[in-house]
Homo-oligomer: A and B are copies of this chain.
Amino acid sequence: MSELNQHIASAFDRDLEGIQAQILKMGGLVEVAISDAAKSLETRDEELAEQVRRGDKAIDAMEEALNEEAARVIALRAPTARDLRVVLAVMRISGNLERIGDLSKNMAKRTGVLAQMSPISGSTAALRRMARDVEMMLKDALDAYIKRDAALAQDVIERDAEVDQMYNTLFREFLTFMLEDPRNITSCMHLHFIAKNIERMGDHVTSISEQVIFMATGRKPDEPRMKGDRTSTDPTLSADIEVE
């Protein structure tokens, strides 16, 4: 790169770095939201759940601020098509983070209801493990974003299959609990909901990783995304339980 190009690039790059710092701050809040939501569920800590719900407003406000800052940068720097795509990728990442924050909030909302029901053996611990995996994936996706590390981002995408597998296993388990004792039905409905929420968080982390790969390589991952929730399309997965 010529010295002139370096000079031209730097103003835009400095702006991007400012946005990057905001993304990391937002990502940090979202990591805490995932972790606290899952913890509140396992320990039946309604105060912590309330904290997650309140905290989501700050995450929403950060997305708003990030979008406005990104738009300001576009208006100010009139970036090239390539740079424009980078800014759009960052806006998408902030959108994904906001959605993960929302899903954490939704998970925390159910803490109060579930705290009043008999626990389903092992379920909240399993959900917390699943949430921790997603949290680690998010941490690595953000690391990959800072380092423009496509290999790490690809690794995160592959780990999402494990989260999907955990969801499929839990779906079966909840069905079994419900069939064994109808008194488990209501709580299992809520727990299934939470499992699905966490599985969707994994999809959003995957989407962040895809944006990172695009920023690092200029190419979108062309492999079609593995859809891991087989419960929606695999008849055997649910049918073999139904006929028990």
A129 vs chain B, min Cβ distance (A): 22
Does A226 touch B at the CB level, under 8 Å?
A: no
A120 CB contacts on chain B under 8 angstroms: none
Docked pose: A68 CA to B92 CA in angstroms = 12
How many angstroms from the CA of A193 to the CA of B193 in the assembled complex? Answer: 8
Q: Which residues of B contact A175 (CB under 8 A)?
A: 185-186, 189
Contact (A68, B88) CB under 8 Å given A179-B185, A185-B185, A242-B183: yes
> For chain A, what secondary structure do more than half of its interface residues adopt (helix, strand, loop), or is it mixed?
helix
Verify A116–B178 contact, CB threshold 8 A: no
B113 and A87 form a contact (CB under 8 A): no
Provide the residues of chain B in CB contact with A85, threshold 8 Å. 68
Q: Give the size category of A's interface with B.
A: 35 or more
Q: Is the CB of A233 within 8 A of B112?
A: yes
**Which A residues from 60 to 84 make CB contacts under 8 A with B?**
67-68, 71-72, 74-76, 78-79, 84
A72 / chain B contacts, CB cutoff of 8 Å: 84
- CA separation between A238 and B234, bound complex, in Å? 29
Question: Considering only CB atoms, which chain B residue lies closest to A183 in the complex?
Answer: B242
Q: A109-B233, A112-B233, A175-B185 are in contact. List 16 more A-B contacts (CB 8 A).
A: A68-B84, A68-B85, A68-B88, A71-B84, A72-B84, A95-B95, A110-B232, A110-B233, A112-B235, A117-B239, A175-B189, A178-B178, A186-B239, A186-B241, A186-B242, A190-B238
- The answer to whether A238 touches B186, judged by C-beta atoms less than 8 angstroms apart, is yes
| Smallest CB separation, A130 vs chain B (Å) | 18
Which B residue sits closest to A240, measured CB to CB? B186
CB interface residues, A 214-237, toward B, < 8 Å:
231-235
User: CA separation between A182 and B171, bound complex, in Å?
Assistant: 16
Interface residue from B79, B84, B113, B192 paired with A235 (Cβ < 8 Å): B113
* Nearest 6 Cβ contacts at the A-B interface: A186-B242, A74-B74, A109-B232, A75-B78, A186-B238, A179-B182
Residues of B within 8 A of A187 (CB): 242
Measured between alpha carbons, how far is A87 from B95 in the docked complex, in Å? 16
Q: How far is the CA of A185 from the CA of B186 in the complex (A)?
A: 11
Q: How far is the CA of A110 from the CA of B232 in the complex (A)?
A: 5
Q: Which chain B positions have C-beta within 8 A of A154?
A: none
Q: Taking the nearest CB of chain B, how far is it from the CB of A170, in angstroms?
A: 12
Interface of chain A residues 159 through 190 with chain B (CB within 8 A): 171, 175, 178-179, 182-183, 185-187, 189-190
